[in-house]
Amino acid sequence: MSTNPSSALAPSARLKTLLSRIRRFDGLPPEVQERIAASASPRRFAAGQVIYIEGEPAEFFYLLERGWVKATRMSRDGREQAMLFLEAGEIFGDIAVFSGTTYPGTVVALEDVDAWALPAGELLELTQQFPALAMAVIRHLSDRVLHYISLVEDLSLRNVEARLANTLLQHAEAHGGQLIVPRRDWTTFDEMAVRLGTVRDVLSRGLKTLESEGLLRVEKQAIVLLDPKGLAERGHR
């Protein structure tokens, strides 16, 4: 199991370090950071553990310190559709907290996860007291809206190969002079299919198509992007 580099710090220092890594929250005034640190509590979830279930009351807002989680919804026919895959330095549970509704999806730990849980009532109170926090939340929610617009566009207008090309480019990392997408323990073909709104067999055919076109190479530990420009063009078909 990987270690958390912030684990040696005091809890409040850990949370402040985390806040400095979160987009839109990295410029919060020290007073706001102190209030969040005083109210949030650390939580640990094992790989595969459900953090909350679609339809449950939104009691907490979460800040992800370590690991990956996924947020999904179930269709009427029992099919799982991914909404978000989040890594350390992200937040979740916010939409339901501010809309005053239940959680719109189920969130599951994909690997061992460390997170901080801030009570919903405390977050609402803090946003009323501190305009800087309210503005950070508004900007973050705007990012989420843009993400969901893009997701709807992908699912409705693009085929699996195009969606796959875009997803691979979004998660590519430079390594040894190549662009690769590392295959983590949880990135099975089934999980990738959920992410793309399809099924395993269709995903497998999509990968083979892109590989036959010389755009990528599937290896045991990674997917190597051989032609990023070609993948980008494929993603906009």
* CATH for 113: 2.60.120.10
Q: In this structure, is residue 2 part of a structural domain?
A: no
Instruction: Please tell me the least confidently modeled range out of 7-11, 30-34, 147-151, 197-201.
Output: 7-11
Provide the pLDDT confidence category of residue 185 given band limits of 50, 70 and 90.
confident
pLDDT averaged over every residue in the chain: 92
Q: What is the pLDDT of residue 2?
A: 47
DSSP string of 119-156, one letter each residue: EHHHHHHHHHH-HHHHHHHHHHHHHHHHHHHHHHHHHH
Residue 183, domain CATH: 1.10.10.10
Report the number of distinct structural domains present in the chain: 2
Domain ranges, residue 219: 159-235
Which tokens is 118 given? 């801030």
Is the pLDDT assigned to residue 142 strictly greater than 60? yes
Residues 124 and 69 in one domain: yes
Residues 28 and 111 in one domain: yes
Distance CA 45, CA 68 (A): 11
Average pLDDT value for residue range 15-42:
95
Provide the pLDDT confidence category of residue 1 given band limits of 50, 70 and 90.
very low
Which tokens is 164 given? 């796959």
Average pLDDT value for residue range 36-53:
97
Average pLDDT value for residue range 85-110:
95
Average pLDDT value for residue range 65-94:
92
Is the pLDDT assigned to residue 3 strictly greater than 80? no
- C-beta neighbour count of 129 within 10 angstroms: 11
Average pLDDT value for residue range 193-217:
93
Rg (CA), the chain: 19
Residues 140 and 227 in one domain: no
Distance CA 196, CA 83 (A): 10
Residues 141 and 178 in one domain: no
Q: Which of 156, 175, 192 is the last residue of a domain?
A: 156
Average pLDDT value for residue range 179-204:
88
Is the pLDDT assigned to residue 50 strictly greater than 70? yes
Q: What is the pLDDT of residue 8?
A: 60
Q: What is the pLDDT of residue 6?
A: 56
Residues 150 and 167 in one domain: no
Percent of the chain at pLDDT > 90 equals 75
Is the pLDDT assigned to residue 7 strictly greater than 80? no
Residues 6+ apart with CB under 8 A from 17: 6, 9
Q: In this structure, is residue 3 part of a structural domain?
A: no
Is the pLDDT assigned to residue 134 strictly greater than 60? yes
Question: pTM for this structure?
Answer: 0.83
Is the pLDDT higher at 71 or at 236?
Answer: 71
